[in-house]
Amino acid sequence: MTKRKAEDISSEVTVMMNGLPGAMGHEISQCCLRRGLAIAPVAMTGPNMPAECEVKEGGKSTKVRLVAPAEHKAALAQAKKDFKNLIVIDFTGPPAVNPNSDIYTSLQVPYVMGTTGGDREKLMKVTKDSGTYALIAPNMCKQIVAFQAMMEKISAEFPGAFGGYKLDITESHQSTKADTSGTAKAMVGSFNGLGVPFGVDQINKIRVPAKQKEFGVPESALDGHAWHTYTLTSDDGSVEFQFKHNVCGRRTYAEGVVDGVMFLAEKIKAGTEKRIFNMIDVLSEGKMV
């Protein structure tokens, strides 16, 4: 996407940031403002949350009214009327994935789902059946997306290449992340294709700060990080392969989310037949800044 085209699209799009007042919601909102996207003055949030929050970035500021679950559908319906090119970004919590997606699809409001967890089969089905445009991905960091794509390709082209090996997956995220990493879960499929028996329930999830520091996470990143280590060991212990990514902070994910919004807005404008996308689609088309 050329810079001129990106600017044209960004000036047309308004984002409803469902995930405020959380840290990721703020990070994405700030990135939206940097990239020229407008933030809707209303957003869906969970119970017992503040009635309002403010997003500030580079001299720009938007006050956002936060509505509780009982008001979600009405608030989104009104926002759809108020903003011609509305796209929802969802970074809420696993229990909200399906209730929220049911609302988005019932109103046919395009959305970017970055929240992991929930019933993913139901999520995909309700989105497909409704014909709603959506970008659904467990990870939005472009380098990690490329790594996932590489592993998927290797597992498809060299099935069973690591037969007889044992796998250990250890992932650490901030203590507020309740569920096991969706990225780690997705990687399990690639390792299975390479001939390694392993279930998502075997992933070692670290959420205790003391153990995270032992794992190597800097204290400054304890409230926002994604450290994953994938270790393959031969049956006799004589050979070891290790893949890892250590991400501190949230900015790289926020930039990927906004890349995804821009990509989805372009697809909507073009009226493409395909309506459900993931971040590998975005990466494959070179649409990431």
Given 173, 185, 267, 287, which residue is catalytic?
173
The superfamily CATH assigns to domain 3-136+251-284 is NAD(P)-binding Rossmann-like Domain (3.40.50.720)
Task: Give me the average pLDDT of each 10-residue run along the chain (289 residues).
Answer: 57 94 96 96 96 94 96 98 97 96 98 94 98 94 92 96 98 92 93 98 97 98 96 98 96 96 96 96 77
The model's pTM: 0.83
| pLDDT for the residue numbered 7 | 53
Given 26, 72, 142, 177, which residue is catalytic?
177
Listed in order, the ranges of the chain carrying CATH 3.40.50.720 are 3-136+251-284
Q: Which of 39, 37, 64, 66 lies closest to 51, judged by CA?
A: 66
CATH architecture of 142-248: 2-Layer Sandwich (3.30)
Partners of residue 247 on adjacent β-strands: 226
> Position of tokens 């890349």?
259
Active site residue 185: no
| pLDDT for the residue numbered 285 | 84
| pLDDT for the residue numbered 58 | 87
Task: Give the contacts of 150 (CB within 8 A, at least 6 positions apart).
Answer: none
CA distance 237 to 133: 48
> Between 182-193 and 142-157, two packed helices, what is the crossing angle to 10 degrees?
20
Sequence letter at residue 75: A
Listed in order, the ranges of the chain carrying CATH 3.30.360.10 are 142-248
Q: Which residues of 120-144 are buried (b: 16+ CB within 10 A; e: fewer)?
A: beebeebbeebebbbbbbbbbbbeb
| pLDDT for the residue numbered 4 | 46
Active site residue 173: yes
